[in-house]
Structure 1
Amino acid sequence: MSPSSLEDRLIAIRRHLHQYPELSKEEFETTKSIEKWLREEDIDIRETSLKTGVFADIKGKTLGPTIAVRADIDALPIEEKTGLPFSSKIKGKMHACGHDFHTAAAIGAAYLLKKHQSELNGTIRFLFQPAEESGAGADKVIKDGQLENVDAIIGLHNKPDLPVGTVGLKNGPLMAAVDRFQVVIRGTGSHAALPHKGKDPIIASAQLITALQTIVSRNVSPFQSAVVSVTKIEGGSTWNVIPGDVTLDGTIRTFDSVIREEVKERFYTVVEHIAKVYSQEFVIRWFAGPPPLINDEKVTETARRSAQNLSLRVIDPEPSTAGEDFSYYLQQIPGTFAFFGSNGNEDWHHPSFTVDEKAIIKAAYFLYETAKNLLIEYSQIKEKQKSHSTF
């Protein structure tokens, strides 16, 4: 398959996926399509207990290390407004984060590696992972055993604000840990004309929202980073009644595991004391999300050299306070996650989000080149370990 025909095929795959998006844990047709495209090139599909997601191995001529390539496959509950001729055909669902891009690029890398299968000293494993947007997919893939015997892992995410041909590679923290909270402040309702006969949860909630901002400004070092955002408030049913309770929802983003725990502890303390001052009861519901995504130095350097071999422009990107469950893999094995320029008109999760399809083939070659080079390097490491063990 020539580079031009491969590019055409990957664009067609991406457009098919874009027209038929499926939400987290519902990627049944997406799973069937990916399996079909891989089987067409005689790529071996691995067994799985998961209902969605596809896992595949390309085994070389000899036994050796295993390198994983990961792509996420789920879409978002967003009504598309791009006006593209291949817009989503599923009402209220859209690939507004570019997972169709990631999947097409990984399939392209699989095709390239299959073509050079006889040259591989080891195995390349592909993880077409479900449920990234729900934050639980990677953990389920690990529990399913798909990471067993894997030595290193790579992945990427399109980046709309970077031009095509640019790769963002950063050692250390790249994306944030994401935690969600819900706080219910319970007071005593009363007539709005008689506030002294109740215990107003709206006043307490207003004070709490302000006080929560001091967690970052007065507890986190200026040389570190954290975000505390209250994003939803529900309370009251009419204009002349003080309600009995108010519910606040929001999110906390951190790049360091120690700071993550410190911020959580401070959050609970602030809620408790504000509630006490205003004679309120409270309930905190905490939903822990993915940990911070921290890239491995050596794997990142290999990815950097691979990108340069392809004449891609490599930059040191700004970390993102968005979350990514690829971080679960990096808690288990070394790996790196790249930002790949897609020259989009809007950022992730926007109804008018698009990608420049010229980036797909470049991303496919980047994943191919990095996986191949990691396999070579880990083969050399294992050979050295084997020779030392003979003494």
Structure 2
Amino acid sequence: MQAIINTLKPKLSSIFTYLHEHPEVSWNEHATTAYIKKLLSDYDCRIMELDGIPGLIVEIGHGQPVVAVRADMDALWQEVDGKFQANHSCGHDAHMTIALGTLLILPEVLPPTGTFRFIFQPAEEKGTGALAVVEQGIVDDVDFLYGMHLRPAEELADDQFAPAIHHGAACFIEGVIHGEDAHGARPHLNTNAILVGSEIVQYLNNLQLNPNMSYSAKMTAFHAGGESSNIIPGNGTFKLDLRAQTNDIMDKLMIKVEHIVNMLSDYHDISIELKIGANIAAAVVNNEAAGMMEQAIIDRAGPERMKPAITTTGGDDFHFYTIEKPHIKATMLAIGCDLKPGLHHPHMTFNRDVIPKAVKILTDVLLKTVERGAGIDQ
């Protein structure tokens, strides 16, 4: 396999460079979809576009078991050097490259039976892409599912790998404060939306839940008022980001946030509307899948580079696949690559030499899974 990967390295570099230089935000990954489809058009694989949304399903092989790989496609919309733009600061360009590298190697080592399904999924950053794929029945017959994610240097050192990622739960909330404007000289005639926003922040900072479990609640956006400095704004919009290591703690956190908003709404006699944009569940990792990933890391990277499963407060909609379809056995490969300063930083960088190494591990775990066919009715 190493000889094949060495031959493939220039291709992997070319693929990554294109994807990195052509980022697209959630639900707009149309050019990315077209690029992957064209790239694979000359290869012996079955390609299917998702219905009504960006993304592709690519298959190699036939029969049971059905082993799937998911690669997220979307970039973030963020400010980079004073300009807002799409930016691959979460490593999805690398994830797609690793999946494509694995897909290109498999025909050279294809076992006699087993279906390998690659899911190029949109809108992970919105937390809604995986559910859209599930709704189209793409994973109904999947037995094992593997994902991957680059890890920041503070979690995993360069050239180290872990067989699972225990993501926390995440919930993104959009809020609207409904009120009326007033003259700056007459603050008694309305409720200042900015004041309400600051009170929400204060109460979020005062939240107390089980200290043995990590959680956080913070305001990530707020807007009220316009160009006139002598108008007290009565209306405002805000966004909240909630995190919790378990789904139970997230449920409790949500109740607290609702209490805060209802209390301030009653106190100020105004309306505060909350809308959940995405609600990402905490990880459900299958021990059997993680065990095969661990062995693949040991066999292809060496035992000294295999580290314990990563626990992180970050979230990923990958885990909706196993929550919506509990029969699926899943885990994610954690990839150490000297990623700095951190995920979602506008100038995030990582050691790209890790890409062919991750391809080798992912290919190996797919072959191991098909060879074992563990727990699958043939």
Question: Would you call these one fold, judging by a TM-score over 0.5?
Answer: yes
> Are positions 1:33 and 2:23 aligned together?
no
Describe the shift of the 1:191–1:328 C-alpha distance in structure 2 as closer, same or farther (beyond 3 A). same
Kept in 2: contact 1:164–1:358 (CA 8 A): no
Q: Deviations over 1:197-233 (max 9, x none)?
A: 4444444433332122333x2xx21122221001222
Q: Note the 1:211-290 alignment, pairs <5 A.
A: 211-215=203-207, 217=208, 220-237=209-226, 238-290=228-280
> Are positions 1:104 and 2:97 aligned together?
yes
Describe the shift of the 1:272–1:51 C-alpha distance in structure 2 as closer, same or farther (beyond 3 A). closer
Give the distance between the partners of 2:275 and 2:179, measured in 1 at CA: 18
Q: 1:320 aligns with which of 312, 320, 334?
A: 312
> Are positions 1:343 and 2:329 aligned together?
no
Give the distance between the partners of 2:288 and 2:142, measured in 1 at CA: 16
Give the distance between the partners of 1:31 and 1:251, measured in 2 at CA: 29
How far off its partner does 1:102 sit? 0.9
Describe the shift of the 1:200–1:58 C-alpha distance in structure 2 as closer, same or farther (beyond 3 A). closer
SS in 2 for 1:93: strand
Q: Deviations over 1:81-134 (max 9, x none)?
A: 6xxxxxxxx9933322221211111111112221111x2431111111122222
Which residue identity is paired with 1:154?
A: Y
> TM-score under structure 1 normalisation?
0.85
Q: Deviations over 1:150-185 (max 9, x none)?
A: 1010010112313332113347xx222222223334
Q: Which residue in the other structure is 2:357 paired with? A: 362
Give the distance between the partners of 1:146 and 1:126, measured in 2 at CA: 10
Kept in 2: contact 1:120–1:372 (CA 8 A): no
Describe the shift of the 1:163–1:5 C-alpha distance in structure 2 as closer, same or farther (beyond 3 A). farther
Describe the shift of the 1:166–1:120 C-alpha distance in structure 2 as closer, same or farther (beyond 3 A). farther
Describe the shift of the 1:250–1:327 C-alpha distance in structure 2 as closer, same or farther (beyond 3 A). same
Q: Which residue in the other structure is 1:92 paired with? A: 85
Give the distance between the partners of 2:286 and 2:256, measured in 1 at CA: 30
> TM-score under structure 2 normalisation?
0.88
Describe the shift of the 1:248–1:152 C-alpha distance in structure 2 as closer, same or farther (beyond 3 A). same
Give the distance between the partners of 1:283 and 1:2, measured in 2 at CA: 56
Q: Deviations over 1:27-85 (max 9, x none)?
A: 2232222123323331222464244212111115xx3211101111222334666xxxx
Which residue identity is paired with 1:375?
A: V
Greater CA drift, 184-193 or 247-256: 184-193
Give the distance between the partners of 1:272 and 1:91, measured in 2 at CA: 34
SS in 2 for 1:349: coil
Unaligned runs of 5+ in 1: 82-89, 387-391
Aligned residue pairs, count? 367
SS in 2 for 1:101: helix
How far off its partner does 1:264 sit? 1.5
Unaligned runs of 5+ in 2: none
Describe the shift of the 1:199–1:95 C-alpha distance in structure 2 as closer, same or farther (beyond 3 A). closer
Describe the shift of the 1:270–1:363 C-alpha distance in structure 2 as closer, same or farther (beyond 3 A). same
Which residue identity is paired with 1:364?
A: V
Q: Which residue in the other structure is 2:21 paired with? A: 19
Describe the shift of the 1:78–1:189 C-alpha distance in structure 2 as closer, same or farther (beyond 3 A). closer
Q: Which residue in the other structure is 1:151 paired with? A: 143
Q: 2:120 aligns with which of 128, 141, 147?
A: 128
Describe the shift of the 1:276–1:51 C-alpha distance in structure 2 as closer, same or farther (beyond 3 A). closer
Give the distance between the partners of 2:357 and 2:309, measured in 1 at CA: 18
Describe the shift of the 1:149–1:79 C-alpha distance in structure 2 as closer, same or farther (beyond 3 A). same
Identity %: 27
Describe the shift of the 1:250–1:187 C-alpha distance in structure 2 as closer, same or farther (beyond 3 A). same
Which residue identity is paired with 2:68?
A: A
Q: Which protein has the larger Cα radius of gyration, Structure 1 or Structure 2? A: 1
SS in 1 for 2:280: coil
Q: Note the 1:64-103 alignment, pairs <5 A.
A: 64-78=64-78, 92-103=85-96
Give the distance between the partners of 1:40 and 1:355, measured in 2 at CA: 31
Describe the shift of the 1:209–1:376 C-alpha distance in structure 2 as closer, same or farther (beyond 3 A). same
> Are positions 1:299 and 2:301 aligned together?
no
Q: Deviations over 1:249-293 (max 9, x none)?
A: 211112322322222122111211123233333222232332222
Give the distance between the partners of 2:193 and 2:339, measured in 1 at CA: 43
Q: Which residue in the other structure is 2:171 paired with? A: 179
> Are positions 1:374 and 2:369 aligned together?
yes
Kept in 2: contact 1:178–1:289 (CA 8 A): yes
Give the distance between the partners of 1:9 and 1:150, measured in 2 at CA: 29
Describe the shift of the 1:187–1:42 C-alpha distance in structure 2 as closer, same or farther (beyond 3 A). closer
Give the distance between the partners of 2:280 and 2:175, measured in 1 at CA: 20
SS in 1 for 2:20: helix
Give the distance between the partners of 2:240 and 2:49, measured in 1 at CA: 38
SS in 1 for 2:358: helix
- Structure with greater strand percent: 2
Describe the shift of the 1:79–1:198 C-alpha distance in structure 2 as closer, same or farther (beyond 3 A). closer
Greater CA drift, 90-99 or 242-251: 90-99
Greater CA drift, 235-244 or 329-338: 235-244
SS in 2 for 1:184: strand
> Are positions 1:164 and 2:161 aligned together?
no
Give the distance between the partners of 1:380 and 1:190, measured in 2 at CA: 68
Give the distance between the partners of 2:148 and 2:33, measured in 1 at CA: 20
